[in-house]
Structure 1
């Protein structure tokens, strides 16, 4: 699955830990996505996956979610994109 990262951001605070967002497109998908990332210590990440601008095909969203669960390299690339934009 090929993704194209359009924008990324991340903040850190002692209270909230790491909070990041990545906006991206997926080759062959009709809509773009945003993933929100959260980790207290920057090691184990929780996430939420959403359509970026408008709702799209649920089966494409679910396929992407399955791919993120199975493909650590893909998920890690999104985390790294956000971490690279960490605001100090």
Structure 2
């Protein structure tokens, strides 16, 4: 099942060592809380990420469901990453 989601906000910047750090906050349909995925990359090509609740914690089973979707659906991951890259003005 593919999820329905909306992006609230996104950001990306380069740190002093020229590493990319950014995040995207998004809502998932039928989930009570927003999520934030944080992205990190040393080269702008290979990305690590961390998922967490954007505000107050919500149900753990919903969180684990979203985390699994990120692992299994490259399109979802890429959309959230692209939102952050675009917000930072990077191509």
Deviations 1:9-47 (A, max 9, x none): 000135151101111100111110111100111111111
Cα distance in 2, alignment partners of residues 55 and 16 from structure 1: 32
Unaligned 5+ segments in structure 2 are none
Name which of 54, 71, 77 aligns with 2:73. 71
**What SS does structure 2 have at the residue aligned with 1:22?**
strand
Cα distance in 2, alignment partners of residues 2 and 42 from structure 1: 27
**What SS does structure 2 have at the residue aligned with 1:84?**
helix
Structure scoring higher RCO (CA < 8 A, sep ≥ 6) equals 1
Name which of 18, 21, 34 aligns with 1:19. 21
**Residues 42-51 or 14-23, more deviating:** 14-23
What is the root-mean-square deviation of aligned Cα atoms in Å?
A: 1.4
Q: Which residues in structure 2 correspond to 1:50-69 (within 5 Å)?
A: 50-69=52-71
Normalised to the residue count of structure 2, the TM-score between the two structures is 0.90
Query: How many residue pairs get matched?
Result: 88
Q: Which runs of 4+ in 1 moved over 6 A?
A: none
**What SS does structure 1 have at the residue aligned with 2:67?**
helix
Asked whether the equivalents of residues 35 and 50 of structure 1 are also in contact (C-alpha less than 8 Å), the reply is: yes
